[in-house]
Amino acid sequence: MKRRHRHIALAAAFLPVAAAAFWFAAPYNIAASVEHYAPIRALLNGYMKNAVAIRAARTEPPDWFDPDDPALIRLGAGHFATGCAACHGAPGRPRSPVVRGMLPEPTRLESAQYSTGEYYWLARHGLKYTGMPGWAGEGRDDEPWALAAFLGNYAALSPGDYHDLAWGPSPPPSDAAAMTLGGVAGPQTPFDGCARCHGRDGLGRDGTAPKLAGQSAEYLAAALDAYAGNRRQSGFMEPVAAALSPRLRAELARRFAGMPPASPVPDGAPPPGDAARGRTLAERGDEHDEIPSCIACHGGDGTAPRAPDIPRLAGQDARWIVVWLRMWRDGPIPDTPGAPRMAAAARGLDDDEIADLAAFYSTAASAGANRER
């Protein structure tokens, strides 16, 4: 028994010495130019996949999430083109030789075998020691679901499908293998990049991005400045805005502000929610739930805000209004001058009231633009 205790004591004393020797001698080569030993590679890959699967299983998708929603897939494709393709490549676009020198290499998505929930977790949180970043918009847990929807359909996309999803009415970048983070290589102008989600007429695509046409230049420029300065959170918008100079942000704001504003939604399936109840809530508020009147700031029908730094709501897609009001209610709250006022106004709204307000403003009469520029 004493001998065994002696052996245990010797082993306990030896382990710190061995660990220190390993630390200072650094025998394991950490250079990206040298492959891992096969057992170590298998251990690291297996642990990573297990860690992702366990954490993704704890993540419940929101009730509005549909992995086959074409609008979400298009939104995810647009972000992938500017935020992910530089490392991962894209259908019909090879990865840059630079990133092929990384260890581990970025995942080959055409053969990846992740669930939609696992894609969400990876996009939201990233991976340590791999170069895979977490989501740029702090607190915007809603946004990576669009990328997850796109990645869940990635393997079935042809180069033509990808082009249509990611670039829409805007021209694609050049045939260069890589695209820069926050922008694209080739002949695209900053306006082309904006138009992919917001439309060349400023009237958006699918309701996943706001309609910019007819907003005041002051409001648009302030929003871009806030995204660029990390005072307004969005993994979609922050990388794009940060890549623009203040002069370009101001020019883009003026260009979209000069476009004809949105009209009410066309005839067809009405948006969810009760527009009549939404009008009543917008006009009167709800004193019991401490919900103020919307028209005090946004104007009677949402077409004429009381100040240039307040957005015009009339004709916005109901889908977008719902997303935005939920963000104002649940966070993250932007670090901008009017944010505390708007957050206080949205705090008492429930989901039904948000849907009602969205139905009202998306169908509100378009009697003119806010021209206080």
User: Which CATH number goes with the domain that contains 363?
Assistant: 1.10.760.10
This prediction's pTM: 0.87
- Ordered per-residue pLDDT tens for the chain, 373 residues: 566 667 677 777 788 888 888 888 888 898 999 999 999 999 999 999 999 999 999 999 999 999 999 999 999 999 999 899 999 999 988 888 888 899 999 999 999 999 999 999 999 999 999 999 999 999 999 999 999 999 999 999 999 999 999 987 655 555 444 444 334 444 578 898 898 899 999 998 888 999 999 999 999 999 999 999 999 999 999 999 999 999 999 999 999 999 999 776 655 567 889 999 999 999 999 988 889 999 999 987 778 888 999 999 999 999 999 999 999 999 999 999 999 999 999 999 999 999 999 999 998 864 344 333 3
First to last CA, the chain: 88
Domain boundary among 137, 167, 189: 189
Residue 247 lies in a domain: no
Spatial separation of the C-alpha atoms in residues 193 and 229, rounded to whole Å: 19
Distances (CA, A) of 276 to 297, 304, 358: 20, 20, 11
Taking the C-alpha atoms of 199, 201, 206 and 211 in order, what is their torsion angle to the nearest 10 degrees? Answer: 100
Length of the chain: 373
Domain boundary among 137, 165, 189: 189
Q: Which residues pair with 291 in a beta bridge?
A: 286
Residue 42 lies in a domain: no
Tell me how many domains the chain contains.
2
Q: Are residues 88 and 185 in the same domain?
A: yes
Residue 24 lies in a domain: no
Other beta carbons within 10 angstroms of residue 129's beta carbon come to 9
Residue 238 lies in a domain: no
In our burial notation (b when 16+ CB lie closer than 10 A, e otherwise), range 196-209 reads bbbbeebbbbbbbb
Give me the phi and psi of 212, to 5 degrees please: -95, -20
Residue 30 lies in a domain: no
What is the phi-psi region of residue 349: left when phi exceeds 0, alpha when psi lies from -120 to 50, beta otherwise?
beta
Domain boundary among 164, 189, 214: 189
Spatial separation of the C-alpha atoms in residues 197 and 207, rounded to whole Å: 9
267 burial type by CB count under 10 A (0-12 exposed, 13-18 middle, 19+ buried): exposed
Residue 41 lies in a domain: no
> What does the angle CA 305 – CA 269 – CA 303 come to, to the nearest 5 degrees?
10
Copy the structure tokens of residue 131: 């170069």
Give 201's DSSP letter: T
Residue 315, domain extent = 266-373
Cβ contact 39:116 at 8 Å: no
